[in-house]
Each structure stands twice: as structure tokens, then as C-alpha cells.
């Protein structure tokens, strides 16, 4: 069993203030026994503001401060940040730090959809990323990645039984329904648990944000490899702490044959 916390928060424009969200979220999650604490995409700074001025390398002060929080509490923290890229763009990076880990996953699939063009300011990543903790292999993916089943199957091929999916989902008609369907479908495709941690809905706490930016809808979700929902948040800031039976992943893959029977 693995105990994992999903901290659904509203990030602001200031990385220092968002670091305080990380610290308080980790402290609360550790009090509930979590070994991994997941925060949304864009935890460092929300979308809708210039990203290049806040982007830092993984050995920069923001990432190292998160690493210090993880080390203090002996947990792995996964949180969205931005790292520099060529041409004035940034990379949309998930920081994975703690328990001997300190690495990043750069979002592969960029959100050029629903009238938003992430690729204008963000450069894509190219590498699938996993890490191991307490004998369990975890994969990571980010937000729009959830629309691409091949990534989740690749993570399963690399040994992942759980995929952690931070997001800052764009609002709009039908988008909540798509979010739930996609999370559950990717769990079924891969036989993995998918733990999806979104930015809270700014409207739920009266925050004013750029209406054209994907700043979150909440509704973080936990689905197993059979597509069953085990936990779900509402739109407002909230923390879900869940116990994951990683043996369910192997059972799901055997039952569905979704990996073994694929032909393409």
C-alpha cells in the first residue's frame, strides 16, 4: 500500500507565496501519513502571467526550497514549475524531489487547443519519466498529456503501476466531464492508478484570473486500473489523502488485456 496526498490549491503569481502553499500542504499531508505529496501543474506560478521571468533551473532557489521541505519531512514532493528553454520560452516542468530523488519531467504534449496556444511560450519535452519509492514505480504526466494514451502505456511499459498527473485544467463547457472521462480512460488504457491533482477553481475562492488562461477547475480524481473512481475533490482548495493498493494494477492488466493484446 502507498499513501499519497493530492493538494488541490490555487497558485498565485508570486513563487515565494506559492512556496508557502507547498510547505503548509506537505506539513498537513505528512500529519496524515502521506509518503508522496502531489501539487498541481503551475504550482510555482499560475498561468496567465509572464512565465519567463520566474523560470529557474532545477538547482535554482525555488526547486531547492521545495527539496528542503521534502527532505525535512522525508517525503517525495511532485509540483509544477517552469524551467528556462531556448528562444525566450520556458519548459513546463514537474519537479520530483525527496527521498533521494531530484529530477524534472518536461511536459511533452503542449496545450494548443480550445483557443489557447501553450507552445507560444513553452517548449515541449521529449522524455518519459518514472521514479521509484518503497519498491513501487511511479510515472508522471502533466495536464494535456492525459489526452494521449500512448504516453500512459509507455509509462506502464517502463514499470509504472501509478501515474501522478498534476494539472491546471482549462474551464469551459463540457471540460469537467472530459477531465473525468480522460483520467478514467488513461487508467484503463495502462492498467495504472492515475492520481490527477488539479488547480482549484479560482471562482470557488473569489480569485480574479486571466479568463483566457487555463487556471484550473478543481475536481482532482483518483482512478484505478479498472477505471473505478476511489476519491474525488470538489472545485475549491482541498487535500485528498488516499491509500493505493498497487497490486490492483497487475490485476487490471491481466483482466483487461489492454497492454498484452495491443497490435499498434
Give catalytic residue positions.
Answer: 41, 107, 143
- Helices in 147-246 by DSSP H: which ranges? 149-157, 175-190
Strands 162-167 and 193-198: parallel
Q: Cβ(150)–Cβ(190) under 8 Å? A: no
Cell numbers standing for residue 89: 520560452
Residues 6+ apart with CB under 8 A from 231: 221, 222, 240, 242
Q: How far is CA 167 from CA 41, 92, 138, 171, 250, in A?
A: 5, 11, 17, 12, 26
The length of the chain is 264
Q: Cβ(41)–Cβ(166) under 8 Å? A: yes
Q: Which residue has the cell 508522471?
A: 140
* Among 238, 133, 222, residue whose Cα is nearest residue 186: 222
Amino acid at each position: 500500500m502507498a499513501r499519497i496526498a493530492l493538494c488541490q490549491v490555487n497558485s498565485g503569481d508570486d513563487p515565494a507565496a506559492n512556496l508557502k502553499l507547498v510547505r503548509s500542504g506537505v506539513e498537513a499531508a505528512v500529519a496524515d501519513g502521506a509518503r508522496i505529496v502531489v501539487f498541481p501543474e503551475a504550482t510555482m506560478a499560475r498561468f496567465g502571467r509572464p512565465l519567463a521571468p520566474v523560470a529557474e533551473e532545477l538547482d535554482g532557489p525555488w526547486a531547492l526550497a521545495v527539496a528542503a521541505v521534502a527532505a525535512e519531512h522525508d517525503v517525495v514532493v511532485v509540483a509544477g514549475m517552469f524551467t528556462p528553454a531556448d528562444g525566450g520560452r520556458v519548459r513546463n516542468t514537474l519537479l520530483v524531489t525527496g527521498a533521494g530523488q531530484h529530477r524534472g519531467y518536461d511536459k511533452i504534449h503542449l496545450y494548443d487547443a480550445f483557443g489557447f496556444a501553450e507552445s507560444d511560450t513553452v517548449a515541449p519535452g521529449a522524455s518519459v519519466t518514472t521514479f521509484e519509492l518503497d519498491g513501487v514505480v511511479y510515472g508522471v504526466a502533466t495536464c494535456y498529456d492525459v489526452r494521449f494514451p500512448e504516453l500512459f502505456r509507455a509509462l506502464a511499459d517502463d514499470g509504472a503501476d501509478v501515474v501522478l498527473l498534476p494539472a491546471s485544467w482549462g474551464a469551459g463547457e463540457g471540460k469537467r466531464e472530459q477531465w473525468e472521462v480522460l483520467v478514467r480512460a488513461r487508467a484503463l488504457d495502462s492498467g495504472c492508478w492515475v492520481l490527477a491533482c488539479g488547480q482549484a477553481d479560482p471562482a470557488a475562492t473569489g480569485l480574479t484570473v486571466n479568463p483566457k488562461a487555463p487556471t484550473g477547475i478543481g475536481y482532482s480524481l483518483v482512478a484505478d486500473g479498472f477505471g473505478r473512481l476511489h476519491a474525488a475533490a470538489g472545485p475549491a482548495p482541498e487535500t485528498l489523502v488516499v491509500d493505493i493498493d498497487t497490486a490492483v494494477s497487475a490485476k487490471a492488466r491481466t483482466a483487461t488485456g489492454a497492454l498484452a493484446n495491443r497490435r499498434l
